[in-house]
Amino acid sequence: MKQYNTPLISIVILNFNGLKHLTRTIPTITKLKHHSYEIIVVDNASIDGSLEFLKTFNSIRIVQNKTNLGYARGKNIGAKKAMGDYILFLDNDILIKDLKLLNKLQKFYSKYKESIISIPFRDSGQKNINYFGGFLYYSIDPLRGARVVDKIEVSQVCYPNGGAFFISKKLWDELGGFDDSQPFNLDDKDLGVHAYLLGYKVILFDGVILEHLGHSLESFDLRYWCWKYQYHYSGIMRLIIKNFKVYNIFIYGVTFTISNFADVAKNSMKLSSLAPAVYFLKSVKTFLKSLPDTLEKRREIQSQRKLKNDYFLKLRPNYKI
């Protein structure tokens, strides 16, 4: 950690068996041109040699979890260890090529204070930028297809890109971090909506496009669809009930249930397997089991609400600030 009079930035990275990516991403991060930053890696019980590699860097603080605690809880743990005024969250497979990234982010944030900054990235070797944050109408209606933007420019998005975003520690603490009631498929979406309800925004950063070394599993990979459906319905429905106005809970809850069911049926037929349907039903069970807690969280969030309507639902690509 380098000490200067400039605000400290904490870089929080979550890792699970990501050695093949860390060997490329970590060396660059340790060479970033910024006067004051720290690197924290939260390891979710890796067994691939990740820890041995990370321990060769004296500048890295390592948090070792005894078991895999999942995405949301893992990053929450990293944020609690952060000593910085700001936090840059990164996935372990995000490659930074611009060594001035932290300086650019800090300068950008000075223009858009009280915001979460979503940083775009693209898969290695690809031209399309599908990772920039997101819009809820794609998540609520999965039949709409992939998320895309025409070009990267400063604009509002509904929620930040979970793999790379920048936030002040003060705002992170006010939002309470990620909802870690389930390990996946809730975190960044819920964080963005919660921020809007409290009067903040999520802004797309146009200064740098990062590289994503990891790639999604093939679209017809059975394991991918089972993983997706295990927490997808429960996560989105918890988000809807916690955050939306009552009339939007009905409208979007019904829309999402129907479209998600149709999506499950479509992919079950493509895969010639009932496994996606089984995992979808598991997610429905998870949602129903957690409903009392979801309603309690709703009462808490709605009592703090500053946004009169759910205008974040109207956000579309390149929505101007």
Same-domain pairing of 292 and 228: yes
Domain co-membership, 180 together with 237 = no
Domain boundary among 212, 238, 256: 212
Assess whether pLDDT exceeds 80 at residue 221.
Answer: no
Total Cβ atoms within 10 A of residue 319: 14
Question: What does the pLDDT read at residue 6?
Answer: 78
pLDDT tens by residue, 75-97: 999 999 999 999 999 999 999 99
- Residue 34 domain boundaries: 9-212
Structurally, the chain folds into a number of domains equal to 2
Measured from the Cβ of residue 31, the count of other Cβ atoms closer than 10 Å reads 9
Q: What crossing angle do the helices spanning 275-304 and 187-197 adopt, rounded to 10°?
A: 20
Query: Is there a single domain that holds both residue 52 and residue 188?
Result: yes
Over pLDDT 90: what percentage of the chain? Answer: 74
Name the amino acid, one letter, at 128: N
How do residues 176-202 score in pLDDT, each as one tens digit? 999 999 988 889 999 999 999 999 999
pLDDT of residue 65 exceeding 60 = yes
Q: Tell me the average pLDDT across 208-223.
A: 76
- pLDDT, averaged across the chain: 91
Q: Which of 114, 105, 111, 110 is nearest to 205 (CA)?
A: 105
The pLDDT of 298-312, averaged and rounded, is 96
pLDDT in tens, 166-179: 999 999 999 999 99
Model confidence at 143, in pLDDT bands (50, 70, 90)? low
| Shared domain check, 253 and 189 | no
Amino acid identity at 67: T
Please determine, for residue 52, whether its predicted confidence score (pLDDT) is greater than 80.
Answer: yes
pLDDT of residue 127: 83
- Domain boundary among the residues 176, 191, 212 is at 212
Give which of 166, 32, 40, 193 is closest to 110, Cα–Cα.
166
- Is 320 a member of any domain? no
User: CA 136 to CA 312: how far, in whole Å?
Assistant: 8
The CATH number of the domain where 155 resides is what?
A: 3.90.550.10
